[in-house]
Structure 1
Amino acid sequence: MDDKRNPIESIVIAMATMTSGEESSSNEALDTQDVNGVTDCSSATYSNEVLSCEITQKAPNFTHEIASKYNIETKVMNVVGTIDLKTRLELKTIALHARNAEYNPKRFCAVVMRLRDPKTTALIFSSGKIVITGARSEEFCRLAGRKFTRVIQKLHFPARFENFRIQNIMGTSDVHFSIRLEGILNDHARFCSYEPELFPGLIYRLTEPKLTMLIFVSGKIVFCGAKDSSHLDQAIEKMYPVLLEYRKTAPSLWSLVENSTQNADNDEIE
C-alpha cells in the first residue's frame, strides 16, 4: 500500500527531522495482544523481558559533566523521535477508545496522545507515522515509542515498532560569564548570524558536531538539532575557548574615574 502523506504531516515530520542525516534504524517488532475494554496508554504493560527491564530502569542522569577544566554542565531538555508502525490507522477509532487522546481534524490531521510515564506527547498520523516529543533522554523517547505502539496494538491494529530515530535533541548550558556577541559575529560571520532587533541571541552553526547553538549575552546557551546527547558536550568543549576569547570584562576602577573626570570637564566647557 502506498504511503500517501498529506502536506501538513510532511511539514510536521520535516520540522521534527530538522538536520536529519542517514542513521542506522532499529527494527524491532512487538508481539500483538488482544485486550478488551478501554485502552490506557499510561498503564501499558509488556510481557517481553527486555521491555520490562527498560521500564523498571532508573531514570538516567540528564546532566552531563564537561571536562573538569571547564566545569560546565549541559542539560537535555527535549528529545524528538519518530517511529513507523508500518500500517495505516483509523484516527477516529484511536481517539474514541484510547485515553489521553485528542483528535480534531478541523484543526490538525493527527491524534495528539499524552503519556504520563515517561511524560511525553505523540502526534499519530493515519499513515502510521508517529512523532514523539517531550522526552528527557533518548532512552525515555524509545520507551515512550514502545508504549504508544502497544496502545495502538491493543486497539487491534497490526502495528510494529520499527524505524525508530532520534531526530532532534534540545539542550541548555551556561558558561557563567557575559559574552560580546558582536565580536563573535565579526570574526565568525561564516558560521553565525546576529540580528538583535529581531532576536536577542546569536545563531552559531557548528559543522562538527552538526548542530545549532543560540548564544546569549548573559552566557546562556541553547542547543538545537543534535542527534546524540554527547554532541552537546562536544559542542561546549569546542566552543568554550572561542566564547572565552569574547568574554566581557568589567571596567577597571581607574577607567571609571577617568571617564567621570572627562565627563565633568566636558560639562564645565559647555
Structure 2
Amino acid sequence: LEFIARNSWNVQHLSTVFKSLVMKIRKPQTTARIFQSGILFCTGAKSEDESRVAARKFAFKILKLGYPVRFLDFKVLNIGGTCKTFPINLEDLFLAHQDHCSYEPELFPALQYNFRPGMTASIFSSGSISLVGKCDTWMDGGGEFCAENRRGKE
C-alpha cells in the first residue's frame, strides 16, 4: 500500500485508521478505498455502470504500478440517495411514527426512519432526506415507498 501511495496521484494512505488507501479520480468523480487484501470499495458513482467504469479505472491504475490485478466479483452492495424538501417538524413525525423511528436530538440531529429491513432514511428538520440501504432492498421497492408517501401527501 505504501508503494502505491508514493507512486500514484490523488492517493492518501490511512495506515493508522483502516490500513487502507483512499484513491480519487475525476471522471467519473469517485473515491475508492483499497485494502491490502485487494478488496476495493468504490463510492460516489451516480449509477451502476459508472461505478463499474470507475472500479476498472482504479484497477488499471494499480495494474500500471506492477501489481497483478484481476477484476472479479463486481457487485453493488449499498445505494444511497438524497433530496431536499420543505422544513419538517421532527418531533411530530416521531410521535406519529414511533414504531418505525428513532430520534435522539442530543446525539444526532436527524430522525432515523427504518421503513424496510436494510433501508434507513435520515430526515433532518431542514427537509433534507438521505436514503441508504442494501441494493436488493432498493430493488424490492424502495422507490415504491417514496411514491406511496408522495401520493399520500397530495
Candidates 192, 195, 208, aligned match of 2:101? 192
Alignment partner of 1:170: what SS?
A: strand
1:137-152 equivalences in 2 (<5 Å): 137-152=47-62
| 1:88 aligned partner | none
The structure-2 alpha-carbon separation of the partners of 1:174 and 1:233, relative to structure 1 and needing over 3 Å to count, comes to farther
1:123 aligns with 2:123: no
Could you say what secondary structure the match of 2:37 adopts?
Answer: coil
In structure 2, runs of 5+ residues without a counterpart are: none
**Correspondent of 1:182 among 74, 91, 102:** 91
Closer/same/farther in 2, CA of residues 108 and 196 from structure 1, 3 Å limit: closer
**8 Å CA contact 2:109, 2:124 repeated in 1:** yes
Q: 2:81 aligns with which of 171, 176, 190?
A: 171
The structure that is strand-richer by fraction is 2
Q: Cα offset for 1:181? A: 3.0
Q: Normalising by structure 1, what TM-score? A: 0.49
Give secondary structure in 2 for the equivalent of 1:166.
coil
Q: Hey, what does 1:153 align to over in structure 2?
A: 63
CA contact (8 A) 2:12 2:22 kept: yes
Structure 1, unmatched stretches of 5+, are: 1-90, 246-270
Q: Which has the larger radius of gyration?
A: 1
Aligned equivalents of 2:14, 2:125: Cα separation in 1: 42
**Aligned counterparts of 1:114 and 1:103: Cα–Cα separation in 2:** 12
Cα distance change on mapping 1:202 and 1:107 into 2, 3 Å: closer
Q: Shift in Å at residue 241 of structure 1?
A: 5.0
Give identity over the alignment, percent: 40
Query: How much does 1:131 deviate?
Result: 1.4
Instruction: Indicate which of 112, 119, 139 corresponds to 1:211.
Output: 119
Superposition deviation, residue 98 in structure 1: 2.5
**Distance between the aligned counterparts of 2:121 and 2:14, measured in 1?**
35
Cα pair 2:14 2:22 within 8 Å, conserved: no
Tell me how far 1:116 sits from its aligned partner: 1.6
Taking structure 1 as reference, are residues 123 and 219 closer, same or farther at Cα in structure 2, changes over 3 Å only?
Answer: closer
Which residue matches 2:128?
A: 220
Is the CA contact (8 Å cut-off) linking 1:171 and 1:232 kept in structure 2? no
Distance, in Å, in 2 between the alignment partners of 1:204 and 1:163 is: 32
Residues 193, 203 of structure 1: 8 Å contact kept: yes
CA RMSD of aligned residues (A): 2.7
Task: Decide whether aligned partners of structure 1 residues 142 and 238 sit closer, same or farther in structure 2, where only a CA change above 3 A counts.
Answer: same
Pairs within 5 Å for 1:32-111: 91-103=1-13, 105-106=15-16, 108-111=18-21
Describe the SS at the equivalent of 2:130: strand
Report what 1:48 is aligned to: none
